[in-house]
């Protein structure tokens, strides 16, 4: 079966159901995936964009726990082939439970997966994680 890439807008139409025709088409795509008739993938950028749009106060303003649940349900589909799927799941968990933005949560998840404990950053949000040592770059 050929692998097909899924863009942000298809996932958003599935999750928001805010465009009758496109949402129905997106539901059909994911029903095919759930039935094992379509093999799909996406990227870290697409997942981050979905989180950003769903959390946007001007658009959907969904609670972090709802965002985590909705995206995790998609990631768990057997025919959704995404490299580092566990890292994305962990990032969604960090995002939902800590209040840091998704990009920072993704960095934490990547660090944990790779056994990295030090980050160079000016962002103090990383100080919330006892397993991470944040160092600020300094000019000489």
pLDDT, averaged across the chain = 95
The answer on 34 and 21 residing in a single domain is: yes
Same domain assignment for residues 89 and 64: no
pLDDT tens, position by position, 25-65: 999 999 999 999 999 999 999 999 999 999 999 999 999 99
Q: Using alpha carbons, select from 75, 49, 72, 53 the residue that is nearest to residue 62.
A: 53
Distance CA 140, CA 121 (A): 16
Same domain assignment for residues 67 and 106: no
The answer to whether 27 and 74 have CB atoms below 8 angstroms apart is: no
**Residue 132: half-sphere exposure toward Cβ, Cα within 13 Å:** 24
- Domain around 19: 1-83
Domain count for the chain, please give it.
2
**Do 67 and 19 share a structural domain?**
yes
Q: Are residues 94 and 121 in the same domain?
A: yes
* pLDDT tens figures, 84-133: 999 999 999 999 999 999 999 999 999 999 999 999 999 999 999 999 99
The pLDDT value given to residue 1: 82
């Amino acid at each position: 079966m050929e692998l097909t890439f899924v863009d942000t807008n298809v996932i958003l139409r599935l999750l928001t159901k805010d465009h009758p025709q496109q949402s129905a088409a997106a539901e059909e795509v994911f029903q095919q995936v759930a039935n094992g008739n379509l093999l799909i993938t996406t990227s870290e950028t697409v997942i981050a964009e979905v989180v950003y749009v769903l959390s946007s106060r001007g658009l959907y303003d969904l609670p972090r726990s709802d965002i985590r649940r909705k995206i995790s349900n998609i990631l768990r589909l057997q025919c959704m082939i995404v490299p580092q799927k566990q890292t994305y799941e962990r990032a969604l968990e960090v995002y939902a439970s800590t209040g840091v933005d998704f990009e920072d949560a993704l960095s934490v998840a990547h660090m944990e997966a790779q056994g990295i404990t030090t980050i160079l950053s000016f962002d103090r949000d990383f100080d919330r994680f006892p397993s991470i040592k944040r160092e600020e770059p300094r000019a000489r």
